[in-house]
Amino acid sequence: MVDAVQTTSGVFCRATLNFAARGSEFTAEPVTLDILDGRSAELPGWTECGFELVSHPSSTSSWDDDDLVAVHHREMEDLARSMTGCDVALVSNHIKRGPEHAQRHQDLAPISFVHSDFAVGYDQQVRRSYVDPGPDRPGPTRALERNGITAADVLSAPRLVILQFWRNLGPAKMDNPLAFCDARTVTPDDTRPIPVSDYAGSGIDFNALAVLAPTAASPYRWYAFPELQVDEVVAFRTYDTDLVDRGESWFTPHSAFRDPDVEVGRPARSSIELRAICLFT
């Protein structure tokens, strides 16, 4: 285990994150470092550092009923449009994490490996998913109909941004909160594609990004937001075709981590994630 010494004030806690080891095919390398307090930090917002805490009460009356949660898709489309200035935002599904969901599939447990969700080329996979989503995936078709566009509009959009939203549904203090890396402190050279097969039993395969362990030349800075409330969301960028074209960091590394002040499961994390496909036409 590597201990990355930092001297920055405003620390949330000291924790261990699991990176990909440099110079090996694929080996996890635990690194102990400071997770900084995002509430007290002077952060510039998601367009620069990759993530942003947003106040956002929801009208969803029950997070346990997926049909009622679907109301939240429209809310997050509206939020994504206001945050990005895009012409159309599409939210086609959501993912909930917690002990009961992890029992159904291990991919729905908190992910305690430093990653960002999508490698270069994922935009083409997204576009195709709206052309032929398949009978078992009605979400894309519903999102198109809700927004009054067609799959052809998704295919022709010259710029695509993926903005994701993470909301805590349980107690404000949890065993496995989520930490975010300042995108200004990481480069594409600090990552490598990692294949993901049949994610959560969905039949969907794609390449995510593993993040290599920090070095003196790559001093990543990590943040988390203490005491997250249900009327707050963390927005974070996981793709931007313009940034990909310029060879800049289109991703925001993130990972669950163990809060040393909370015993495992007491309380366990309960959260929901939604992904907005933001189209600039």
Reading the chain (281 residues) residue by residue, the pLDDT tens digits are: 455 534 445 999 999 999 999 887 778 999 999 999 999 999 999 999 999 999 999 998 889 888 888 889 999 999 999 999 999 999 999 999 999 999 999 999 999 999 999 999 999 999 999 998 877 889 999 999 999 999 999 999 999 999 999 999 999 999 999 999 999 999 999 999 999 999 988 888 999 999 999 988 778 999 999 999 999 999 999 999 999 999 999 999 999 999 999 999 999 999 999 999 999 99
Distance linking the first and last C-alpha atoms of the chain:
47
Query: Is-contact 218 146, C-beta < 8 A?
Result: no
How many other β-carbons are positioned within 10 Å of the β-carbon of residue 95? 17
| Cβ-based neighbours of 246, under 8 Å, separated by 6 or more | none
Query: Is-contact 19 29, C-beta < 8 A?
Result: yes
The H helix count followed by the E strand count for the chain is 7, 15
Q: What is the pLDDT of residue 135?
A: 78
Query: Is-contact 90 276, C-beta < 8 A?
Result: yes
Q: What is the pLDDT of residue 267?
A: 96
Q: What is the pLDDT of residue 3?
A: 52
Q: What is the pLDDT of residue 5?
A: 39
What is the torsion angle, in degrees rounded to the nearest 10, for the CA atoms of residue 219, residue 181, residue 45 and residue 268? -150
Q: What is the pLDDT of residue 154?
A: 97
Range(s) of the domain holding residue 168: 2-280
The residue type found at 6 is Q
What domain count does the chain have? 1
What is the torsion angle, in degrees rounded to the nearest 10, for the CA atoms of residue 97, residue 98, residue 100 and residue 101? 10
Q: What is the pTM of this model?
A: 0.94
Sheet strands (E) in 157-226: 159-168, 178-181, 191-196, 206-211, 222-224
- 276: which strand partners? 163
SS3 55: strand
- 37: which strand partners? 224
Q: What is the pLDDT of residue 68?
A: 86
Q: Give the separation between CA 209 and CA 191, rounded to whole angstroms.
A: 6
SS3 108: helix
Q: What is the pLDDT of residue 6?
A: 45
